[in-house]
Amino acid sequence: MSGESDGGDEVRLRQVAVVAHDLDTVVGDFCASLGLSVCFRDPGVGVFGLRNALVAVGDTFLEVVSPAQDGTAAGRYLQRRGGDGGYMVLLQVDDLDGERERIDRLGVRIVWEGSGQGIRGMHLHPADVGGAIVSMDVAHPTQSWGWAGPDWERHAHTDVVRHIAAVEVQADDPRALALRWSAVLGRPTSGDGDAWVIDLVAGDHGRVGERMLLGGLRVWLV
């Protein structure tokens, strides 16, 4: 069974963020177990009341964020979950303005728009999408990723893992969430019962098989 989709432009899973009470411990565990190192700590997340650290998995990224003050959306999310968990999925797109047109047609609210060195993106309201905060971002050149700092390539270790292959998003109703994400991303979905998949087309990035899995909460590394 497939969900409705307008085909969309090509989408790539480029970064996944998790939220944690103890940033340093979680980042240390990632680095020790996966052979990674911190490539950037972005002072810009302070506007959200957060601190963070990014680690490069090849040319994809794991980010850990933690509340740096009271009253943050991330802090409230930690309280609702009762512990650490997945928080945000960042997708690289070819045509951000075209994505915005579809998002507007669907009535999805934009909670943040911003830009950095060679990169521009928008965060979608989690209540209008479900499962996680979704960011759509366009990078110039396409192989760059400005959110990861100026020299992330030096930290792009691949001895243990090579890249993020998939992210699995928690859902009470996987089918409904899959259909919604399919519409929002403009990508087809298929599945049955509690197992639903949205395939992401990697295009000229040289990958196939990157995908969203609806029904749990895991990041898949290969």
Q: In a structure prediction context, what are the per-residue pLDDT tens digits for the chain, which is 222 residues long?
A: 233 444 445 789 999 999 999 999 999 999 999 999 999 999 999 999 999 999 999 999 999 999 999 988 899 988 888 888 889 999 999 999 999 999 999 999 999 999 999 999 999 999 999 999 999 999 999 999 999 999 999 999 999 999 898 888 888 898 999 999 999 999 888 888 878 888 775 443 444 344 444 433 345 655
Full-model pTM: 0.87
| Spatial distance between the Cα atoms of 164 and 133, rounded to a whole number of angstroms | 18
- What one-character DSSP code corresponds to residue 2? B
Domain residue limits, the chain: 11-221
Q: What is the pLDDT of residue 219?
A: 57
What distance in Å separates the CA atoms of residue 100 and residue 189, rounded to the nearest whole number?
Answer: 20
Dig out the tokens for 79 from the structure: 């309280």
Provide the pLDDT for residue 98. 94
pLDDT of amino acid 202:
42
pLDDT at 152: 97
Instruction: Give the Cβ contact number of residue 96 at 10 Å.
Output: 18
> Which token pair is 61?
């990224």
Please name the helix (run of DSSP H) or strand (run of DSSP E) that holds residue 34, with its range, or none: helix 23-34
**Architecture of domain 11-221 in this structure:** Roll (3.10)
pLDDT at 110: 97
Between the alpha carbon of residue 32 and those of residues 3, 53, 81, the distances in Å are 40, 15, 26
pLDDT of residue 179: 93
- The whole-angstrom separation of Cα 174 and Cα 125 is 19
